[in-house]
Amino acid sequence: MKKISIIVPCYNEQELIQLFYEAVQKVYETKIVPIWPQYGLEYWFIDDGSTDNTLAAFQQLAQQDLDQVHYVSFSRNFGKEAALYAGLQHATGDLVAVMYVDLQDPPTLLPQMISGILEEHYDVVGTKRTDRKGEPVIRSFFSNAFYGFINAISDTKIERGARDYRLMTRQVVDAVLNLPEYNRFSKGLFSWVGFKTKYLSYENQDRAAGHTHWSFLDLVSYSIDGIINFSDKPLALASFFGLASFIIAVLAMIFIVVRALIFGNPTVGWPSMVTIMLMLGGLQLFCLGIVGKYISKAYLETKHRPIYISKTEK
Ligand code: UDP
Ligand code: MG
């Protein structure tokens, strides 16, 4: 018997787990089993250090469905990237799906995704949102700017509006697991490993319950991580700024010398001096900041800390 694994990272999602399970189970029984009866299902729920009753909800579900439901519990909140990695490590399926528990990723797409791999012979079927309905305009604006920027400066292309919701073959999962880095930006990693990928589009869905874990600032810092992890161009930017301001300074110097020779040397001009100094100082700090970002990433990698720590019950 072949198997499909469903990986579900959860952080404080107690009210959604049963709902999610029932929704996927329904699609599996009515839409997947009739077409691909050779495929069984397994769930890997990851409790990312939840402080509510998420773990209890897993345990309850596992008792209901001993064969299919498995879970891992983290010793603290390690973030969804770590949870995803743990899920990929544990999954034993021939096909592996990543899904979020809030039902923003419609389980009804699963049959289409499976057919994409089994019938159309893609290695990965990903999903993306066609719209950002119900999202603040400013958020959509920055999100678009992020995709534009990262695709312009990084060799790893990231599909605009792509979700983490995807189905992959065992080979792709193993390829992603072979990237042991500590700083994980999954959207980039999935794209970096390559393979033939198809994207399905769907309309934005609202969360079934609970609330998002991402504030605007979280998203900004997530975007910066994405850029730093998948491009070294910002470093080149620093040299570019340095060179450009050097050339401008030389030209300005020639101008000042010539002007002094022709018109004498009036002691005006300190406001412009101060602004130039401030501008250059600012640029230097900005570039130092970029360099610092890369150093901190390298520093974290060299520690070789585990991506997550799981906790077993006593
Ligand atoms: N999540 C997680 N660890 C975290 C934050 C989120 O495992 O530190 C899970 C969360 O439970 C959900 C998924 O990641 O299943 C996506 O989170 P969310 O729905 O808040 O993100 P959004 O859909 O708003 O991008
Ligand atoms: Mg969500």
Tens digit of pLDDT for each residue in 28-60? 999 999 999 999 999 999 999 999 899 899 988
Distance in angstroms (rounded) separating the CA atoms of residues 25 and 2: 17
Kindly state whether residues 175 and 287 are assigned to the same domain. Answer: no
Tokens coding 17:
């787990």
Kindly state whether residues 219 and 269 are assigned to the same domain. Answer: no
Tens digit of pLDDT for each residue in 155-196? 888 888 888 899 999 999 999 999 888 888 888 888 889 899
**Predicted local distance difference test score (pLDDT) of residue 222:** 84
Which residue shows structure tokens 């019938």? 119
Tens digit of pLDDT for each residue in 107-147? 999 999 999 999 999 999 999 887 766 677 887 888 888 88
Q: What pTM, to 2 d.p., does this model score?
A: 0.77
Kindly state whether residues 165 and 298 are assigned to the same domain. Answer: no
Kindly state whether residues 174 and 253 are assigned to the same domain. Answer: no
Kindly state whether residues 124 and 169 are assigned to the same domain. Answer: yes
CATH number of the domain residue 107 falls in: 3.90.550.10
Kindly state whether residues 196 and 96 are assigned to the same domain. Answer: yes
Residues 226 and 185 sit within 8 Å (Cβ to Cβ): yes
Kindly state whether residues 294 and 153 are assigned to the same domain. Answer: no
Distance in angstroms (rounded) separating the CA atoms of residues 196 and 148: 22
**Predicted local distance difference test score (pLDDT) of residue 249:** 78
* C-beta neighbour count of 101 within 10 angstroms: 26
Could you tell me if residue 166 is left (phi over 0), alpha (psi between -120 and 50 degrees) or otherwise beta? Answer: beta
The rounded Å distance from CA 141 to ligand 2 centre is: 19
Residues 237 and 167 sit within 8 Å (Cβ to Cβ): no
Q: Give, using CA atoms, the residue closest to atom 18 of ligand 1.
A: 212
Give the strand order in the sheet containing 197-202. Answer: 69-73, 39-47, 2-10, 95-98, 162-169, 124-129, 197-202
Kindly state whether residues 217 and 293 are assigned to the same domain. Answer: no
Kindly state whether residues 135 and 255 are assigned to the same domain. Answer: no
Tens digit of pLDDT for each residue in 90-104? 999 999 999 999 888
Tokens coding 240:
């570019």
Kindly state whether residues 90 and 221 are assigned to the same domain. Answer: yes
| Total number of domains in the chain | 2
**Predicted local distance difference test score (pLDDT) of residue 158:** 82
**Predicted local distance difference test score (pLDDT) of residue 128:** 87
Kindly state whether residues 148 and 13 are assigned to the same domain. Answer: yes
Tens digit of pLDDT for each residue in 224-257? 888 888 888 888 877 787 788 878 877 887 887 7
The rounded Å distance from CA 140 to ligand 2 centre is: 15
Q: Which residues line ligand 1 (CB under 6 A)?
A: 9-11, 13, 48, 77, 79-80, 83, 100-102, 104, 212-214
**Predicted local distance difference test score (pLDDT) of residue 223:** 86
**Predicted local distance difference test score (pLDDT) of residue 84:** 93
Residue numbers of the domain that contains 59: 2-231+307-313
Kindly state whether residues 184 and 147 are assigned to the same domain. Answer: yes
The rounded Å distance from CA 149 to ligand 1 centre is: 24
Distance in angstroms (rounded) separating the CA atoms of residues 187 and 225: 11
From the number of C-beta atoms within 10 Å of its C-beta (0-12, 13-18, 19+), residue 269 rates as exposed
The rounded Å distance from CA 1 to ligand 1 centre is: 32
